């Protein structure tokens, strides 16, 4: 990816204390991508549920920290959209960066689309959902951000970032 359009700094503090001092992982994996794993976690102090996205800083021998920082910056910019998951906080270790984000408990849209008739979305549900997704994408576009990897598998009633959103500069 051409990194000339990536944002290289964020407002969010990257915590270096152990993630496990503040969160407990629960349940099974929520999702897995090429370079990240998302797991459900619970904040120890509040008991609130979050999604923790574990991103490797090195991929195929390349330093990808700049890509991750860009993803954090995009989430910061989108903080005020009700259709984009909220970034709660960020942890950094020697090998990975962990994004603690709002937990969207609705499940994967794709699974609901291919489910048996009793469990599948109604037409009204699909219309409402597509409307919300398009509002989120529109919000990003109005802020000069283009998501490069949109597919139905990635959405859980909110737009989830996969590390391939770029900010258009200029």
CATH code 1.10.510.10 for 3-167 = yes
53 is in an annotated binding site: yes
Cα–Cα distance between 71 and 101 in angstroms, integer? 12
pTM for this entry? 0.76
Nearest C-alpha neighbor of 108 from the set 143, 160, 56: 160
Is there a contact between 25 and 41 (Cβ–Cβ < 8 Å)? yes
Annotated catalytic residue within 21, 63, 125, 149: 149
pLDDT digits (tens, 9 = 90+) for 9-26: 678 889 999 999 999 999
pLDDT band at 132 (very low <50, low <70, confident <90, very high): confident
What residues does 116 pair with on adjacent strands? none
| pLDDT above 80 (res 78) | yes
**Is 149 assigned a catalytic role?**
yes
In Å, how far are 27, 40, 104, 144, 148 from 82, measured between CA atoms? 26, 20, 12, 18, 21
Structural domain spans, the chain: 3-167
């Amino acid at each position: 990816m051409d990194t000339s359009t990536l944002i290289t700094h964020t407002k969010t503090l990257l915590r270096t204390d152990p993630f496990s001092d503040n969160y407990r992982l629960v349940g099974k994996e929520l999702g897995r991508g090429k370079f990240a794993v998302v797991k459900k976690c619970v904040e120890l102090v509040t008991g609130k549920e979050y999604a923790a996205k574990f991103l490797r800083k090195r991929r195929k021998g390349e330093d990808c920290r700049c890509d991750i920082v860009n993803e954090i910056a995009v989430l910061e910019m989108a903080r005020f959209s009700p259709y984009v998951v909220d970034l709660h906080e960020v942890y950094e270790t020697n090998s990975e960066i962990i994004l603690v984000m709002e937990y969207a408990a609705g499940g994967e849209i794709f699974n609901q689309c291919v489910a048996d008739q009793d469990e599948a979305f109604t037409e009204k549900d699909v219309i409402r959902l597509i409307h919300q997704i398009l509002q989120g994408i529109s919000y990003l576009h109005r802020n000069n951000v283009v998501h490069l990897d949109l597919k139905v598998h990635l959405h859980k009633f909110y737009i989830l970032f996969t590390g391939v959103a770029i900010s258009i500069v200029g």
